[in-house]
Amino acid sequence: MVYTIEASTVEGNQFKISRTDGIISVASPLDREAIGDTVTLTVKATESQPNINGDLASTTTDVQINIIDINDNPPLFYKCEGPEDKPVCVIATQFTGEVFEHTTGSIPINMMVRDLDKTRRTQLTLQGAEKDMFSVEPASTTSDSVVQLLVKQPDKLDFEKIQQTVLQVIATDEDKPTFSTTATVTITIKDANDNSPTFPQDTYKLTVAEHSPAGTTIATITAEDPDTMDQDQITYKLLPESIHLYFDVEPTTGAVYVKNGTLLDREVRSLYSATLQARDTGGKPGTTVLEITLTDINDQAPVFNRESYLEFVPEDGHFELQITATDADETDSANSQIVYGIEPSEYSSNFTINPDTGVLRNQGMLDREALNPDLDGRIELIVTATDKGSPPLSSTVPVIINVEDVNDNVPEFEASSYTFSVQEGVKGAKVGSVYARDMDQTVDFNRISFSINGGFGSFIIRSSAVKQGYKGEISVDPDIELDYEGSRKHYTLQVEAADLEGETASVTVEVNVVDVNDERPEFVPTGPFTVKENTTIAGSVGYFEAKDKDGNYSLIYELESMTCKCNDSWTPCSSFILEPMGEIRVNPAKELDYEQCDQVLIEAQVVDEFTEKGWNNSATTGEVVINIEDINDNAPEFIHTKSTFVVVSESASLGTQVAEVTATDRDSGKNGEINFKVTLVRFVNLNNATSDMKLLFTAITTQRQDIYVGLIQTTEPLDLTLRGKYLVTVTATDTGGLSAHTVLEILTVDQSYKVELEFTSSEAQVERDRDEIVRALTAATSAAVQIVTIRSNGDPESRAEGNTIVEAYFIYPNGTALDSAEVEKKLSSPQHYLVLGQLGLMNIGKAPEPEKELDSMKFILLGMVAGLIIVLAVLTTSLMCTRRNFKRKLKAAKAMNSASMVTYDNQKSGPVVPGTNKYTMEGANPVLNLNINTTMILDMDEESSDVDKVSLSSLEFNDDMDRETTNGMHVIMEEEGDDGEPPEYIEPLGAALAQLGQKKGSNKAQRGYTNPAFNTTDL
């Protein structure tokens, strides 16, 4: 068989068929939107071999193929024009529409939305500045739909404000939101009076009851006019004129009403026809037809067959009672059909009546005790018979039901509990009454008696009948007086009510003992409170609080006094205002200044306005303390000092304190913390010339109690050659950035005032005695002693200890200093040189001046001076030789003088001949065994100088030089050097110091001997 496609319902070769097996397949892409939902193919099957007739046999069949749609097209907008039966629609994105201002309804824009897909769901939305004024219809569609814009907010369509608006209508494929199309709609808002009033209906069918009173409104019918100028300006008129005998219309409201009700008789005429005309402000008319039908009225009421009904029933029984009524209105009409009912009353809910048959029954069990006792079990119902006319007419008949009582109730209290109050201290005082009743309505069943359980026997109760049941009157026992201040202020009683058959009920009665307002109020401690200085807040900053033991009180606070703590003393003030309710406020007329007053004490009295007896105020006044909190509103203030600051340039190294400043800040706490800083250093020399310096000083901030101290220290060694004073500017800054400045004068003491003191003690010993030396020097000079150097004067390479040189400055508080001559003069005072001698002071001299650099211009002068120095050296040498000969002779005389006083018994106890190496006079210096004329031997005749005689007489001077024993004398001897030259002699500091200086050029240590044979008188 060979298969072929012979025909297709669509053009093109969308399908193909296998010639051998007849399988049909798609030959090209299919577009359902182009070819439709179905395609019919005519398929032919032909035999491959001819038949006996030589023909190829074949047959055909139709194959219908259904094209399944997929969502592959977005929704599109179309603009449709032309006749409605054959509109021409083209794809468009721009649409226009017009609308009269304040018009409701749709706006025609000739828009249609279409999705070519078979299964589609298109959602329409609006965008634009005025989108909220409109809505799009339909909001969602599944077919080709005409799109309309509806006015949602016609009140915003104001021609005077908006003449044109642009909206975007967005069509979105709900199944595939990426498929969306937007169309722009331009709406023009128009304003024109080109519409006549129109009524919503062409004909109105109205009804009114016959004989309706004049003025009865039948209906209010109004016309509509889209023109804004016609709003509320339409007038109405009823035509023809003859209709005005019966009906008329309000010309402004359109209300049609009855003009003459007496003429409206349905039996004479049941239908009236009229034309209602409406005119706008332009006179354009609009009309509608009114058909007014008169309806019959119900003017006959039902009538009961009896004037009243009476029935007796026990309260636990049931009954049925037939009520019958008739109506004279037309039979089988609504006006004659009767409906039975019961007028609402106090007990009508206990009964029901069949509305059609009129059978009256009780609903549930009847309870006589539920009835008002005044009724004595008698219930009166009003049964109504009402026809179904319009308006309905009705009649009533009384039905009396007597409910007979049975004893089926127990006593009941009116309240679930009772609470009473009674004043203390009143015997027999009435407390209150409890009420109970037994709902049984016979005296045999409802009589009640009361009793009390609890109350510690403090209360009694009396029973009595009242209009509604029985009353139990509770009162305090006449023999007992309640005490509020006692242990019980509250009582809980159980009151029991019992009827004659022993049925009981109980209730809880709470009795509160009321305190008489006779207690004085008392203050409760409050505060202290804190308020910032300079505050202007109007609210409360503190308060007084008091309590009153009485239950009912009204406390008022009154100011007694107000004092402020100013400079640690209390003075009256008015910084705050006390309100009657106890609140404390800042007095706006006063300024709070912490630096003037830092605390306020307010004393007040509290008064109880409700006091019934006794004192109404507190026994003691209340006090509230308000602390004024400091704020940073004061700059630091330097404290003036008369001190003179002096610095010894040589002793000033890194960190040396040379001065100090002090400052305070009137603020407190963190606000009063001060930090010092050196901000400027200048120097004024002796010629009053000022120059700027780098910051040679720094300020270290410390604190002494409430005063801040700035220690001025050097940041590096000072220039030793400067003479004058430093001007140091110190700034004091608090934590708030407020600052103050002061300038310190620091006087300099240059090295020309340095004094060199020579001590016989070792360097280590001088260091140990340093404090004693300073005290002694201070006492002698009345000056501050500043030691800058302590050094040994011996050979550093020798193990023997030499003298010690102490370099020091002597400075007075006013900045002046002593030079070496002035120091020597003050130390020579007898009251000081003994102490200094014991400490080893040997010599006073001026410290050597540092060598100054000489310029080349002075070299010539130095050469000229050199010759003069040579001459002076020769003269000095000659003088020294003569002097040494004299010293030798003087030394021998001293030895002779000492030997002549020796006690021979002690001669072998030690070396008794000073200056010799002999223990006795034998073999010693021969001059000691001779009767020597000292004047002759020493070449001292009568013409000798007084100085030489004084030197010899000085041997008799009494001085204690022994630092190791009290009575011994430490005599220092010096041997001659190897060169045979006598040692150099140094004059004593005073007559008491007979010490010899170390031989010039000798490294030998001094040797001393203690000679017990001599005393101070011998010397």
Question: Does residue 570 have a pLDDT over 90?
Answer: yes
What is the pLDDT at residue 737? 86
Alpha-carbon span 130 to 134, nearest angstrom: 7
Give 830 or 324, the one with higher predicted confidence. 324
What single-letter DSSP state applies at residue 101?
T
Rg of the chain, C-alpha, whole Å: 70
What is the pLDDT at residue 800? 52
Question: Mean per-residue pLDDT for 716-723?
Answer: 83
Rounded to 10 deg, the angle between the 770-781 and 820-827 helix axes is 90
Question: Does residue 884 have a pLDDT over 70?
Answer: no
Q: Where are the beta strands (DSSP E) in 609-704?
A: 622-629, 637-638, 645-648, 657-664, 674-685, 690-693, 697-704
What is the pLDDT at residue 965? 32
Q: In this predicted model, what pLDDT tens digit does every residue of 337-380 receive, in sequence order?
A: 999 999 999 889 999 999 999 999 998 888 887 888 788 889 99
Alpha-carbon span 314 to 362, nearest angstrom: 11
Where does the pLDDT of residue 39 fall: very low under 50, low under 70, confident under 90, or very high at 90 and above? confident
Where does the pLDDT of residue 795 fall: very low under 50, low under 70, confident under 90, or very high at 90 and above? low
Question: Mean per-residue pLDDT for 682-699?
Answer: 89
Question: Mean per-residue pLDDT for 594-620?
Answer: 86
What single-letter DSSP state applies at residue 935?
H
Question: Does residue 217 have a pLDDT over 70?
Answer: yes
Kindly give, in sequence order, each residue whose CB lies less than 8 Å from that of residue 733, ignoring residues fewer than 6 positions away: 636, 674, 675, 677, 739
What is the pLDDT at residue 492? 92
Q: In this predicted model, what pLDDT tens digit does every residue of 833-842 receive, in sequence order?
A: 888 888 888 8
Strand pairing category for 583-586 and 576-578? antiparallel
Question: Mean per-residue pLDDT for 471-483?
Answer: 89
Highest mean pLDDT among 463-477, 752-766, 938-952: 463-477
Going from the C-alpha of 268 to that of each of 212, 213, 851, the distances in angstroms are 15, 17, 158
Bond before 154 cis per omega within 30 degrees: no
DSSP string, 730-795: EEEEETTS-EEEEEEEEEEE-GGG-EEEEESS-HHHHHHTHHHHHHHHHHHHSSEEEEEEEEE-S-
25: burial class by Cβ within 10 Å (0-12, 13-18, 19+)?
Answer: exposed
What is the pLDDT at residue 937? 38
Question: Mean per-residue pLDDT for 568-592?
Answer: 90
Question: Mean per-residue pLDDT for 276-302?
Answer: 89
Tracing tokens 């409201």 back to the chain, one arrives at: 253
What is the pLDDT at residue 749? 80
Strand partners, 16: 25
Give 174 or 557, the one with higher predicted confidence. 557
Strand partners, 727: 682, 745
Nearest one of 164, 172, 102 to 136, comparing CA atoms: 172
What is the pLDDT at residue 962? 37
What is the pLDDT at residue 995? 39
Question: Does residue 780 have a pLDDT over 90?
Answer: no
Alpha-carbon span 897 to 727, nearest angstrom: 64
User: What are phi and psi for residue 63, nearest 5 degrees?
Assistant: -115, 120
3-state class of 109 per DSSP?
A: strand
Question: Does residue 1006 have a pLDDT over 50?
Answer: no
Question: Mean per-residue pLDDT for 228-245?
Answer: 90
What is the pLDDT at residue 83? 82
Strand partners, 279: 235, 285
Length of the chain in terms of residues written: 1019
Sheet containing strand 469-476, edge to edge, reads: 411-413, 430-438, 469-476, 459-466
Alpha-carbon span 812 to 817, nearest angstrom: 6
Percent of the chain past pLDDT 70, that is, above it, reads 83
Give 254 or 72, the one with higher predicted confidence. 254
Determine what percent of the chain falls in helix, strand and coil, rounding each to the nearest 5. 15, 40, 45
Give 168 or 537, the one with higher predicted confidence. 168
Kindly give, in sequence order, each residue whose CB lies less than 8 Å from that of residue 810, ignoring residues fewer than 6 positions away: 753, 755, 777, 781, 783, 784, 785, 817, 818, 822, 823
Three-class DSSP labels, 337-402: CEEEEECCCCCHHHEEECCCCCEEEECCCCCHHHCCHHHCCEEEEEEEEEECCCCCCEEEEEEEEE
What is the pLDDT at residue 496? 94
Tracing tokens 């569609």 back to the chain, one arrives at: 141
What is the pLDDT at residue 364? 83
What is the pLDDT at residue 889? 55
Q: In this predicted model, what pLDDT tens digit does every residue of 7-23 receive, in sequence order?
A: 888 887 888 888 889 89
Give 968 or 53, the one with higher predicted confidence. 53
Rounded to the nearest integer, the mean pLDDT of the chain is 80
Question: Mean per-residue pLDDT for 468-485?
Answer: 87
Where does the pLDDT of residue 38 fall: very low under 50, low under 70, confident under 90, or very high at 90 and above? confident
Question: Mean per-residue pLDDT for 687-694?
Answer: 89
Strand partners, 325: 304
Question: Does residue 930 have a pLDDT over 50?
Answer: no
Question: Mean per-residue pLDDT for 743-756?
Answer: 83
What is the pLDDT at residue 649? 72
Amino acid at 122: T
Question: Does residue 252 have a pLDDT over 90?
Answer: yes
Question: Does residue 882 have a pLDDT over 70?
Answer: no
Q: Quickly count: other Cβ atoms within 10 Å of residue 591's Cβ.
A: 13
Please tell me the least confidently modeled range out of 4-13, 212-221, 456-465: 4-13
What is the pLDDT at residue 116? 80
Bond before 528 cis per omega within 30 degrees: yes
Where does the pLDDT of residue 953 fall: very low under 50, low under 70, confident under 90, or very high at 90 and above? very low
Nearest one of 552, 553, 601 to 576, comparing CA atoms: 601
Where does the pLDDT of residue 921 fall: very low under 50, low under 70, confident under 90, or very high at 90 and above? very low
Q: In this predicted model, what pLDDT tens digit does every residue of 964-997 receive, in sequence order?
A: 333 333 333 333 334 444 444 333 333 333 333 3
